[in-house]
Structure 1
Amino acid sequence: MANNQTNRGHQGGTAQNNPGNFANDREKASEAGRKGGQSSGGNFANDRERASEAGRKGGQSSGGNFANDRERASEAGRKGGQSSA
């Protein structure tokens, strides 16, 4: 098992076979840098409705809201400043 040389479990690749690697294409890297976060879907600058929706949601989806889970809130209180990891 330790000598298995297949690509299972490996991420990425080499500069030669990884299309997401900019090492061989400086122009592609430059263009990506100019775009910044525009294409990532994480930028609300051009979508006010999406930004507003995210603001309304607040911490609901993050798992950081204890409003509906008293036991979880109590556990967090007992932990205090301890590391949660």
Structure 2
Amino acid sequence: MEVRFLEERKGKMTVEEAGRRGGLKTAETHGEEFYSEIGRKGGRIGGPKGGQRVRELIEEGKKRETE
């Protein structure tokens, strides 16, 4: 059913469809370990530092509101 739907649309797809197809293709070519590794890397890179920066920006904004 989905294949026929895509054929009727003649090459056009939504962002959602493109993301799903890209994710399926990535999973097919790289496997489950790939997702585990990029998840670990993302946690290390963004980790606490990312949250701290957001906290600092919020505090800075609050100070400016009171001035």
State the structure with more CA Rg: 1
> Which structure has greater helix proportion?
2
Same fold (TM over 0.5): no
Q: TM-score, normalised by structure 2?
A: 0.38
Determine which structure has greater relative contact order: mean sequence separation of CA pairs < 8 Å that are 6+ residues apart, divided by chain length: 2
